Structures are given as C-alpha cells and as structure tokens.
Amino acid sequence: MNSTSNGVPRTAAETQVRVRAGLARRYRAERRFRAYGLAAVALGISFVVFLFGTVLSQGLSVLRQGYVQLDIIYDPEVIDPAGTRLPDDLAVADYQALVRAALRERFPDVEGRPALRELYGLVSSAASVELQKRVTADPGLIGQRQRVTLLADDTVDMLLKGKVSRSAPEDERRLSDAQVAWVDALRADGALQLRFNRAFFTNGDSRDPEQAGVRGAVVGSFLTLLITLLLSFPIGVGAAVYLEEFAPRNRITDIIEVNINNLAAVPSIVFGLLGLAMFISFFGMPRSAPLVGGLVLTLLTLPTVIIASRAALKAVPPSIREAALGMGASRWQTVVHHVLPLAMPGVLTGAIIGMARALGESAPLLMIGMVAFIVEVPAGALDPSTVLPVQVFLWSDLPERGFVERTSGAIIVLLLFLIVMNATAVVLRNKFEKRW
Amino acid sequence: MSDKAVPPVREGIRTIGQVTVPEPVFACRDVNVHYGDKHAIKDVNIDIGRAEVLAMIGPSGCGKSTFLRCLNRMNDTIESARVTGLIALDGQDIHDKRRDVVQLRARVGMVFQKPNPFPKSIYENVAYGPRIHGLAADRGELDEIVNVSLRRAGLWEEVKDRLNNPGTSLSGGQQQRLCIARAIAVNPDVILMDEPCSALDPIATARIEDLIDELRESYAICIVTHSMQQAARVSQRTAYFHLGDLIEVGETKKIFTNPQAKLTEDYITGRFG
C-alpha cells in the first residue's frame, strides 16, 4: 500500500500526506466564512450609517428656527379700545392686527389685498399669542413701541434653511417672488435669522410646523413607559421567580410556558385591540390616556420580561441554591438573598430591552386612541396624549416641508432615548455582574 | 435525648457487619429512595454515631451521595425523588410533619463536592447562617462567631486581613474550608460531606483531612468519598454501597483489612470501581 492509495492510512507518513492534501481546502473554507461574516457586518453597518445619515441630515436643522424682529406698536386703540385694562379684555384683543401694522410699517410700498396677505404670511400665527402673553404679563406696555422677536412662518424658515429652491418656478414653491424679496430685505438688515429652536422642545403638537414640538409626545411616552415599567417589572419578575423556583414541573406549568412564549410572538396590534376591548370598553378608562397605553404595553412586554428573567434565573448555578438550602435558608430566603441578586443583571437587561421595545411601539397605541391630535402637553396619566413613535407617524403624513424636518427631529429624539436606555442596560449589567 | 421511637433493625437484612451503634445521632431504618422509576437506595439500615467519622464508599452511581442527601432532606429539592422509611435524628423522624426542614438543615450541615461559597465576602459567607437563624444579637457577637468558625476551620490565619474580599477569590482548598467554616458557624450536630476533596489538589486535600480529624471531636461527620485511602485515613467506620444496596458496614480497619462481603473485597482490592 503506498501513500497515494485511497485506503485507510496506516502510518504516520501516510496520515501526514492526507492531512496536507486537505489543509488548503480547510483554510479556504475558513477564509470564505470570514468573508461572509465581514460582508454581513458591513451590510449591517452601512444600513445603520444610512439611517443615521438621512435622519440627522434632515432632522438636525430642527434645532434652529427662523425668527423675525418687528417694531411692534402696542396700540391702545387695537388692544383695549374701551380702556378697561381688564385681563379678560386684554386676552381677546386682535393682536394679529399689531403684527400686520408692524409689517405694513416695515414695507410701506405694499398695496392691495392679495399682496398684503402675502406679506402677512411671513409671520407665524403664533406671533399674536406671543404678543398677548407679553401684554397680559405687563399691561404697562400698552401705548409703547418695542422691538419683538417673533416666529417666522414655516415657509420662510424653509427658505432660510435652503430647503425651498429659489430657482424653482414661482408656482412650484410655497413662497411667491415678492415674499422671497421681502425675506431678503429683512435678512439684509438683520431682522430675520435662524436661532435655537426652543419651541420644538417646549411645545406640544400643532397644525403649524413652526409651532409644533415634541414635548407632548415626550411627556406622553415618559408617563406611558413609567406605568409599563412599574407594572411589568414586578409582575414579570414575580412570575418568572415563581415559575422557575417554586412551581412544580407538570403539564400545567408546561402549558403556561408554551403560552408565554407564544404571547411574545403575538403581533402588537392584537394587544392594542385587547386593550381597547378590555380597558376602554369594559373598564371604561379614558381614551388616548398614557394609563391605558401603559397597561397595553405592559401586556406586550410581560412575556419578554418573563422569558428574560427566567433565562437569567436559570443561569444561576444550582450550587448556589444548594449552598443556601444546605445552610438552612428557606426557599424564599434562597431566592431573595442569593438567586435573585445573581440573576439581577440579566433581569434588568431583559426589562430594559422590553422597555425599549415598548418605547418604539406605535401600532397598539393607535388602537386605543393615542393617535389623536393633541396640542396640550399632558399633565398626568389620565390626560389625552400621544407618544413619540406615534408623533413620528402623524408628522410623516403631513405635506408641509416643515413637518418633514420635524419628523426626522422626533426620530432623533426617539433614537436618543433608545440609546440612553440600552446604554443603561449595559452599564447596569456590568455593575451588577458577579463572578462565581 | 432518647431513641425510644427508633425500632430495632429488623431480622433478615442483607447488610453484613454491625449497622447499629450505641446512642446514635442518626438511626436509619429501611430507607428507600426512588427517582421516578429508578430505585436508587434499597432498604438501607444504618446508625451514625456521635463523634465519629463515617465514610461511605462504593462505585459511581451506587447511591452513597443520594443516601447522604437524605440525611438533611436535600432530596426534597429533586422533584422526582421519593424517600421512604425512617430516618431519625436523636430519635425523632426527620420526615415528621411537626419537624421543620429549615431547622433540620441548621442541625445537619453540608459541604458539597465543588466548593460553593456565596459570591459575597468571606465574612458574609460565614455570617450568613447565623444571620438567617438569628444567632447573633449584635455585630460583636457575629464577629465572634465568624472568628471562631474560621479558626475551627483552620482558615483564620490565612484570611484574617481580608475578610471583606470575596469568598470566590480564595484558592479551591481555602474555598472548601470556608464552606466548612460556614457550615460549623451554626453549631450543627452533624456535618455531611459529599466528596469534599474531589476537586482539590493533594496538599489541600491533606489539610481538609486533618481538619476532619479535628472536627470529629465536636461533630458527627458523614463523608462520601471515592478515595479509599481517604476513607481509611479519616474515618472510624466505613459503609460500602453497591447499586443502591448497603453491602457492608463496620470499623474502617476491619473493612479494609478483612472485608466479609465478596463485593466489598473486590472493590477495595481494586477489581472494579
């Protein structure tokens, strides 16, 4: 038998020949596998980069907003013709007229109703609210002249940010040639510029893009998630501890386990319908409320929390349980003193991942009315409210250019929250992790 | 302490040798253990005396660990396990409804095969038992218990300067002595040891064996071991198990020099194992 035969090698030399013959193939397979892995990672990263790139490039401009400075004359004839100075009278005055007068004063050449209407369109309707606030706070302003910074209209804002093309034909853009000329005139004497956009972080939703902010959605998301966390964490961990440490292994617990796993895979919109039927129709809870949202998301995250907690409990070595039981610790003491603290990193990670999923959910919340248009920032868990992903959904549907920017802005806020939560999960896991 | 409730060993048991001792700590009569369909322990009758080390030897799967775990009812934690027969601690059935398993385990300490200190400080490891059983009224008393227990386990000199270090940072042999200190911190009557040296090197093993010899004066000790030399060195009585049967019990010297049963002789002369 020679070394090239196909039989079983019988000597070390024959074995070596066989090994050498196969080496190249083995290394090739390894290299190929590495290349596949690298390609997969590269593809994933490129998608992430693309996502962040588009969202940031479209949404970061939301941090700045166009403001126009006008010399407002607080005309007593307009604000308070009767001269009562009563807060009720001051509140209902036609402040828009003050803005219009200031604009006419700045551009005295403009004449005719259509031209004037275009001129008035440069300033946001929020300007009158701003003036009303100032006068209500200080009635002494009446009769005086003051340079006031007011929100520009979203079309002006878009022009300032270069998101409206000047070269486009007039009938294809939202600003007329005359308006563009006025904007340039205002910019020339420094009365029109981009400033930090506080309103985006302090306002609720609005029909006007320049006034719309994420505060309502952020507070709504926070309240909803708080309720979800307060309910799903203790219930989920409690269920996991019972199932893992106390429950007997029999048919019933097997069925429960299978069903928990099934629940984790149920489409989230089904939980929304369940919440609608149970919490709103049956228990009569208010629509659009973070309370109901939190309850629905609790149903949604419970399976995740239970599964993650059970996995974490299972990973605690049985020798620790035996040590505690052997010392005469009761089962409850064994769990509370030893098993649960050791499982905590995994439990917390599971809970936070569940919360992150809940933060990104929109479908079930549509079912319970959290998709309504709500201007007020919610003050409590029973107030009508929306949440960040639903706000993104709402804005993405609107035609104004300003809402495109705000959609991306809201996505950035949402992503920031998700990153903070996931980073917290990592930090907590590292902090509580113990070796045994 | 009387053994009034413990019946004498019935006639006709298969075990060879002297299974009873005067004034036993544990008296076991016709103990059977089933794991589901598997009959793991068959009609075992044996007494465990005070201030003695009883070694349990036998080939793997012979039931010696299972029997050891009956003595502090650790088999309760295995769902399929069913224990029948009488196991009396100081004359009282440990399976009696009126007896509490927590109290039993405080009286019958256990040291496991693999050192399993809690992932807490050395101090907390030893203080855990006294804490949960409420043995110390204040920090001073707890300090004293920890000090005495570590001294008795021969670990004090090595760890006195680092009581706050994690117990898991010690070497394997030190960890096992820490586990012994943890067990004796609650003043048990009996200490069960399930192959306590099988994960240790020879030097650490020798230290544990010396320690067992010292502890014998205060505690009854049951040790399961795979090493016949170890059984010969540390024990006064030896029990040989084979496939769930207790084949032979007797003074260690006798078992090793003059075994009565053929199976025992085959095992200790190394014909199988």
Sign of dihedral through CA atoms A295, A391, A350, A258?
Answer: positive
Greatest Cα-to-Cα distance within chain A, rounded to the nearest angstrom: 121
Task: Report the residue of A251, A327, A432 to disrupt the B interface, i.e. the one with the largest count of B CBs within 10 Å.
Answer: A327
Judged by CB atoms closer than 8 Å, whether chains meet at A249 and B79 is answered as: yes
Q: Are A99 and A153 in contact (CB under 8 A)?
A: no
Nearest beta carbon to residue A327 from set B119, B129, B168: B129
Which residues fall within 8 angstroms of residue A232, CB to CB, at 6 or more apart?
Answer: A297, A298, A301, A302, A305, A351, A354
Ordered DSSP codes for A50-91: HHHHHHHHHHGGGGEEEEEEEEEE--HHHH-TT----HHHHH
How does residue B2 score in pLDDT terms, banded at 50, 70 and 90? very low
Q: Positive or negative, the Cα torsion across A313, A317, A322, A323? A: negative
Give domain status of residue A202, yes or no. Answer: no
> Domain containing B100: what range?
16-268
Whether residues A236 and A384 fall in one domain: yes
A259 and A369 belong to one structural domain: yes
At A356, which CATH number? 1.10.3720.10
> In whole angstroms, what is the distance from residue B6 CA to residue B26 CA?
10
Report the C-alpha gap between B241 and A392 in whole angstroms. Answer: 72
pLDDT of residue A411: 95
Q: Compute the average pLDDT of residues B123-140.
A: 93
Give the HSE-up count for residue A141: Cα atoms under 13 Å, Cβ half-sphere: 20
Domain count for chain A, please give it. 2
| Burial of B229 from C-beta contacts in 10 A (0-12 / 13-18 / 19+) | exposed
**Other Cβ atoms within 10 Å of A359 Cβ, number:** 20
> Closest partner residue to A323 among B72, B77, B118, by Cβ?
B118
Asked whether residue B48 is domain-assigned, the answer is: yes
A245 lies in some domain: yes
Classify strands B53-57 and B108-111 as parallel, antiparallel or unpaired. Answer: unpaired
E strands present in A85-182: 145-151
- A46 lies in a domain? no
Whether A322 and B112 lie within 8 Å, measured CB to CB: yes
Kind and range of the H or E element at A44? helix A12-59
Same domain, A219 and A366: yes
Report the pLDDT averaged over residues B189-194: 94
Q: Rounded to an integer, what distance in angstroms lies between the CA atom of residue B18 and that of residue B241?
A: 15
Q: Tell me whether residue A428 is in a domain.
A: yes
Q: In a mutagenesis test of the A interface, which of B65, B110, B118, B187 is the best target, namely the one with the most A β-carbons within 10 Å?
A: B118
* Six token digits for residue A379: 């003050």
CB contact under 8 A, A326 and B74: yes
| pLDDT tens string A34-57 | 999 999 999 999 999 999 999 999
- B1 in a domain, yes or no? no
3-class state of residue A155 by DSSP = helix
Tell me: pLDDT of A361 over 60: yes
Whether residues A187 and A227 share a domain: the answer is no
**Is residue A164 in some structural domain?**
yes
CB-CB contact of B14 with B4 (8 Å): no
Name which of B129, B133, B168 is nearest A436 (Cβ-Cβ). Answer: B168
Q: Are residues A273 and A398 in the same domain?
A: yes
Residues A131 and A234 in one domain: no
The DSSP annotation for B243-267 comes to TTEEEEEEEHHHHHHS-SSHHHHHH
Model confidence at A396: pLDDT above 70: yes
* In contact, A99 and A131? CB cutoff 8 Å: yes
Tell me which chain A residues have a C-beta less than 8 angstroms from the C-beta of B179: 323
Residue carrying the six token digits 């219930």: A235
Residue B7: inside a domain: no
Cα-Cα end-to-end distance for chain B = 40
Give domain status of residue B237, yes or no: yes
Taking only the tens place, the pLDDT of each residue in B30-69 is: 999 999 899 999 999 999 998 899 999 999 888 899 999 9
Q: For residue A26, tell me if it sits in a domain.
A: no
**Listed residues A167, A197, A227: the one ending a domain:** A197
DSSP string over A240-254: HHIIIIIS--SHHHH
- Of A28-32, A206-210, A431-435, B71-75, give the lowest mean pLDDT range: A431-435
Closest residue in B to A333 (Cα–Cα): B132
Task: Give residue-wise pLDDT tens across range A128-148.
Answer: 988 999 988 888 888 889 999
> Phi and psi at residue A69, in whole multiples of 5°?
-100, 130
CATH number for the domain that contains residue B172: 3.40.50.300
3-state secondary structure A203-218: CCCCCCHHHCCCHHHH
| CB–CB contact B118 A320 (8 Å) | yes
Domain count, chain B: 1
Return the bridge partners of B84, or none.
B32
Ordered DSSP codes for B126-154: HHHHHHHHT--SSHHHHHHHHHHHHHHTT
Cβ count near A242 (within 10 Å) = 13
What pLDDT digit, counting tens, does each position of B11-36 carry?
778 888 888 888 899 999 999 999 98
Taking an 8 Å cut-off on Cβ atoms, the answer to whether B128 and A327 are in contact is: yes
**What distance in Å separates the CA atoms of residue A394 and residue A397, rounded to the nearest whole number?**
6
Residue A176: C-alpha distances to residues A156, A170, A180, B140 (Å) = 11, 6, 6, 87
Residue A41, domain member (yes or no): no
For residue A16, being part of any structural domain is answered with no
d(CA B260, CA B248): 8
The reply to whether B118 touches chain A by the CB within 8 Å rule is yes
Residue B228: half-sphere exposure toward Cβ, Cα within 13 Å: 17
A288/A164 same-domain check: no
pLDDT of residue A308: 94
**Which secondary-structure segment (H or E) carries B211?**
helix B202-215
- Residue B189 has a pLDDT of 92
Whether B38 is in a domain gets the answer yes
Regarding whether A422 and A287 lie in a shared domain, the answer is yes
Confidence category of residue A248, pLDDT binned at 50, 70, 90: confident
Kindly provide the ipTM of the predicted complex, given to two decimals.
0.89
Across the range A386-412, mean pLDDT stands at: 93
Instruction: Let me know whether A266 and A376 are in one domain.
Output: yes
Q: Is the CB of residue B149 less than 8 Å away from at least one CB of chain A? A: no
> Virtual CA dihedral for A383, A384, A387, A392, nearest 10 degrees?
-150
Residues A344 and A254 in one domain: yes
**Minimum CA–CA partner of A338 in chain B:** B118
The verdict on A160 and A273 lying in the same domain is: no
Q: Does some domain include residue B225? A: yes
Task: State how beta strands A64-73 and A145-151 pair.
Answer: antiparallel
Domain of residue A383 covers 215-432
Looking at the DSSP bridge assignments, the partners of residue A182 are none
Helix (H, G, I), strand (E, B) or coil at A200: helix
What is the C-alpha to C-alpha distance for residues A101 and A107, in angstroms, rounded to an integer? 10
Across chain A, mean pLDDT equals 91
Would an 8 Å CB–CB cutoff place B35 in contact with chain A?
Answer: no
When pLDDT is averaged across residues B172-185 and rounded to a whole number, the result is: 94
B238 neighbors B231 (Cβ within 8 angstroms)? yes
How many Å separate Cα B211 from the centre of its chain?
Answer: 14
Cα A321 to Cα A341: distance, rounded to the nearest angstrom = 12
Closest B-chain CA to A341: B119
Q: Residue A313: left if φ>0, alpha if ψ -120 to 50, beta else—which one?
A: alpha
Could you give phi then psi for residue B100, rounded to 5 degrees? -100, 140
| CB-based contacts of A234, cutoff 8 Å, min separation 6 | none
Contact list, A322 vs chain B (CB under 8 Å): 74, 77, 110, 112, 116
B138: CB partners within 8 A, 6+ apart: none
Q: Quick: pLDDT tens for A300-343.
A: 999 999 999 999 999 999 999 999 999 999 999 999 999 999 99
Residue partners of B122: CB distance under 8 A and separation at least 6: B150, B159, B162, B163, B164, B165, B166, B167, B170, B178
Domain boundary among A197, A232, A250: A197
Q: Give the bridge partners for B109, in sequence order.
A: B191
Percentage above 90 pLDDT, chain A: 68
What is the overall mean pLDDT for chain B?
A: 90
Question: Are residues A316 and A191 located together in one domain of the fold?
Answer: no
In angstroms, the CA B106 to CA B27 distance is 18
pLDDT confidence of residue B3: 45
Q: Which of B102, B104, B109 has its CB closest to that of A330?
A: B102
**Sign of the four-CA dihedral A383, A389, A392, A397:** negative
Q: Where are the alpha helices (DSSP H) in B49-193?
A: 64-71, 101-107, 122-133, 139-152, 156-159, 172-184
| Residue of B79, B118, B183 lying closest to A338 (CB–CB) | B118
Interface contact A324, partner B, CB < 8 A: yes
